[in-house]
Amino acid sequence: MNINVPRGTEDLLPEQTKRWQVIENTFKRLAEVYHYQEIRTPIFERTELFQRGVGDSTDIVQKEMYTFEDRGGRNLTLRPEGTASVARAYVQHKLHGKVDQPSKLYYIGPMFRYERPQQGRTRQFTQFGIEAIGSADPAIDAEVIAFAMDSYQALGLKSLKLVLNSLGDKESREAHRQALVNHFTPYKNELCGDCQNRLEQNPLRLLDCKVDRDHPSMKNAPSILEYLNDYSSNYFEEVKKHLDAMEIKYTVDETLVRGLDYYTHTAFEIMSESEGFGAITTLSGGGRYNGLIQDLGGPEMSGIGFALSIERLLMALDAEKVELEQPKELDCFVITLGDEAKYASSKLVNTLRKNNLKIDQDYLGKKMKAQFKAADRYNAKFVVILGEEEVQSGVVNVKNIETGEEQSVEFDDVARLIKERV
Ligand code: HAM
């Protein structure tokens, strides 16, 4: 029996990684533009981190974690998301004590959730995310949202919808929680088993239930927006004013609750509105988490961030038929004819590479025509033809494939000539 990849995971072959690199480079460039710096945390963490950080009553913690005991008996979990890890690192390394505040961090890496695999939902997926920790200024909420939108727009996506809500502060949430309990308790026996537990543990999660989504009690469930206290509703207004100032369009959706427990105040999601897009239309999500740093043993510091998965981003690119512009693979392909030329070719290829040029040559003894074809496939800018005659004279012909322009130069001058033109 052949061994294939585990369910819900995939191999990315060079045809695909080329696109991934364009995307990742775009994110890294945007991170520079928005002044965020990279953080890398371990792929696995102590299970307790996610229980406390993401929340014991969330689907992620209850049903989706890859948890295992290592040989030393430690309880570990493959990270299902990045925010809890970044918050842990922030506390552990006392980043709040550094001069540069807020800490503006980004990450790209694999996350793991045991979900039912379908289009846009895999068990290993790659998130790009940012976290800005140490500021409770509504302007930074708008910055994070702008960055999230830019992550798609910079790649050429257009059919996007930004959905916004506020989950309020602790006091507002408590008032809303009580209202939810009062509202749903009369229907308790009609709700699914999970929701019956949610009613006790975390009633907000009821609004996120996929089973009871169409139960009549969902329609007129109390809206968080009616329970925001003055501070929370002012904060929400301020965030919206900053978005207006940036001319970023949004729709307020009071039913948007997000699937993780750490959120306070701003919560948002970006959806694809493209026709060819699959059933899962959420491309990314994020929000503010003002209690998380404290819950993990740090000082009272507020944070906000968002994360997208590259897998869903690729679905959106396909749905909108966006072709990513890919850099040329090769600066020059060296075409070699005859045994004598092979040593000269090795030398030339080596010199060109030492000059930081992207170079390849034939290793299959192909005829000249086939070597030209290879140069074409690799999208090379130049070809150099190296046969016995060239070895004798020490002069080669450098041809620009696009313009057809040719120039004869000595071996030692090839690197300079190509460098001038690329
Ligand atoms: P999340 O909504 O759980 O939030 O995930 C963010 C994004 O990750 C989703 O919108 C989706 O693009 C992608 N994603 C999630 N699960 C899968 C999956 N099984 N397959 C493919 N893509 C998936 C978070 O993870 C928060 N940490 C975001 C955040 C950062 N909030 C504040 N800071």
Per-residue confidence (pLDDT) for residue 276, from 0 to 100: 79
Q: How far apart are CA 46 and CA 32, in angstroms?
A: 31
Q: How far apart are CA 86 and CA 306, in angstroms?
A: 12
Does the Cβ of 274 fall within 6 Å of ligand 1? no
246-294, pLDDT tens digit by residue?
A: 999 999 999 999 989 999 999 999 999 998 787 778 999 999 999 999 9
Question: What mean pLDDT do residues 93-109 have?
Answer: 96
Average pLDDT score over the chain: 95
Are the C-beta atoms of residues 101 and 301 closer than 8 Å to each other? no
Query: Measured in angstroms, how far is the CA atom of residue 92 from the centroid of ligand 1?
Result: 24
For residues 274 and 412, state if they share a domain: no
186-241, pLDDT tens digit by residue?
A: 999 999 998 999 998 889 989 888 888 889 999 899 999 999 999 999 999 999 99
Q: Of 285, 319, 353, at which residue does a domain stop?
A: 319
Per-residue confidence (pLDDT) for residue 210, from 0 to 100: 83
User: Which residue, judged by its Cα, is nearest atom 31 of ligand 1?
Assistant: 286
Give the burial class of 230: count Cβ atoms within 10 A of its Cβ; 0-12 exposed, 13-18 middle, 19 or more buried: exposed
In a domain, 157, yes or no: yes
Question: What mean pLDDT do residues 326-330 have?
Answer: 88
Residue 177 has pLDDT above 90, yes or no: yes
What tokens appear for 249 in the block? Answer: 């369009």
Query: Percent of the chain scored above 70 by pLDDT?
Result: 100
Q: How far apart are CA 333 and CA 360, in angstroms?
A: 5
In a domain, 212, yes or no: no
Query: Percent of the chain scored above 90 by pLDDT?
Result: 90
What is the reported pTM? 0.94
Question: What mean pLDDT do residues 172-190 have?
Answer: 94
Q: Measured from the CA of 269, which atom of ligand 1 is nearest?
A: 10
Does the Cβ of 168 fall within 6 Å of ligand 1? no
Residue 178 has pLDDT above 90, yes or no: yes
Counting ligand 1 atoms within 8 A of each CB, the residue from 63, 106, 125 with the most, and so the one to mutate, is 125
Per-residue confidence (pLDDT) for residue 1, from 0 to 100: 84
For residues 245 and 387, state if they share a domain: no
Residue 355 has pLDDT above 80, yes or no: yes
For residues 348 and 313, state if they share a domain: no
Per-residue confidence (pLDDT) for residue 180, from 0 to 100: 95
Q: Of 292, 319, 346, at which residue does a domain stop?
A: 319
Query: Measured in angstroms, how far is the CA atom of residue 128 from the centroid of ligand 1?
Result: 9
Q: Give residue 34's domain range.
A: 14-169+229-319
Question: What mean pLDDT do residues 157-161 have?
Answer: 96
Query: Measured in angstroms, how far is the CA atom of residue 170 from the centroid of ligand 1?
Result: 23
For residues 298 and 353, state if they share a domain: no
Q: How far apart are CA 158 and CA 366, in angstroms?
A: 45
Residue 327 has pLDDT above 90, yes or no: no
In a domain, 217, yes or no: no
Are the C-beta atoms of residues 61 and 68 closer than 8 Å to each other? no
Does the Cβ of 309 fall within 6 Å of ligand 1? yes
For residues 338 and 378, state if they share a domain: yes
In a domain, 129, yes or no: yes
User: Which residue, judged by its Cα, is nearest atom 16 of ligand 1?
Assistant: 121
Per-residue confidence (pLDDT) for residue 353, from 0 to 100: 98
Q: Are strands 103-112 and 37-38 parallel, antiparallel or unpaired?
A: parallel
Q: Which residues pair with 133 in a beta bridge?
A: 103, 303
In Å, how far from its chain's centre is CA 105?
13
Query: Measured in angstroms, how far is the CA atom of residue 198 from the centroid of ligand 1?
Result: 21
Give the Cβ contact number of residue 189 at 10 Å: 6
Q: Of 293, 319, 345, at which residue does a domain stop?
A: 319
In a domain, 295, yes or no: yes
Question: What mean pLDDT do residues 94-107 have?
Answer: 95
Does the Cβ of 265 fall within 6 Å of ligand 1? no
For residues 127 and 30, state if they share a domain: yes
- The CATH number covering residue 341 comes to 3.40.50.800
Query: Measured in angstroms, how far is the CA atom of residue 315 from the centroid of ligand 1?
Result: 15
Phi, psi of 338 (to 5 degrees): 90, 155
In a domain, 297, yes or no: yes
Q: Which residues pair with 129 in a beta bridge?
A: 107, 307
Looking at the structure of the chain, the number of domains it has is 2
32-86, pLDDT tens digit by residue?
A: 999 999 999 999 999 999 999 999 989 999 999 999 999 999 999 999 999 999 9
In a domain, 305, yes or no: yes
Per-residue confidence (pLDDT) for residue 323, from 0 to 100: 95
Question: What mean pLDDT do residues 145-169 have?
Answer: 97
Q: In what order do the strands lie in the sheet with 66-69?
A: 44-46, 75-78, 66-69
Amino acid, res. 78? L
Q: Which of 133, 82, 127 is nearest to 104 (CA)?
A: 133
Q: At 311, is the pLDDT very low, low, confident or very high (cuts 50, 70, 90)?
A: very high
For residues 258 and 368, state if they share a domain: no
For residues 315 and 343, state if they share a domain: no
- The CATH number covering residue 104 comes to 3.30.930.10
For residues 268 and 344, state if they share a domain: no
For residues 135 and 67, state if they share a domain: yes
Does the Cβ of 8 fall within 6 Å of ligand 1? no
Q: Are strands 303-309 and 124-133 parallel, antiparallel or unpaired?
A: antiparallel
